[in-house]
Each structure stands twice: as structure tokens, then as C-alpha cells.
A = this chain, B = another copy of it.
Amino acid sequence: MLEAEIYKALGDPIRLEILQRLSTRSAYTIGELSANLGVSRQGARKQLQVLVQANVVHLAQNGRETLVTLDTTALQLARSFIARIESQWEQRLEALKNFVEE
């Protein structure tokens, strides 16, 4: 189960908040993103790094600032993995229902 990494990255309120923000604006600088998260700039930076490692966001240097952008491909995979578990479960329920009815 290599997929665990992405969920781990999503499993923190600060990181989710960062993603939330990123989804509503095309690009943030690290500084902007790190503000008002309830932790220090370096604390926020560490959380951001977790998202970078999980390939959910990308960084691009621009002079003295760094731009952060969202990359939804990992999110799509995460979503479809959950969807697969759900659908297998649905199939199971269906099979059980048929068995009871016959």
C-alpha cells in the first residue's frame, strides 16, 4: 500500500488548510501561505514541505520569494483509490442482497 503517503500528507488540519487556500488562488508565496495558520513561519514551512514531498504542491523560486502551486494529480489518485474501496464494498452489499433474496 504505497498510496498511504498522500493520505498521511492530508492528515493534518494545518496542511488541509494550506490546500484549501491554494485551491482558491492561482499562486501564493510561502510567506503568504504561512501567515495566520496558528504556528510560526518555520512551523508552517515544515507542514508545507510535507505537501511538497507528497507531490501535492510544487515550489518555484522567483527572486527572493518562492511561489507555491497546487498539483491535483496526486489528489485524483487518492480520490479514485477511495472510490475503488467504496465500489467494491457496494458490490459486496449487492451480492449479499441477491443471496438473501433467492
Contacts from A to B (Cβ < 8 Å): 1-5, 7-17, 19-20, 22-26, 70, 72, 75-76, 78-79, 82-83, 85-86, 88-90, 92-93, 96
Contact = CB atoms under 8 A, between A and B. Distances in A.
Contact of A82 (B1, B15, B75, B92): B75
B16 A1 contact: yes
B85 A23 contact: yes
A89 B17 contact: no
Please tell me how many copies of the chain the complex holds: 2
Interface of A is mostly: helix
A14 B19 CA distance: 26
Contact of A8 (B12, B76, B86): B12
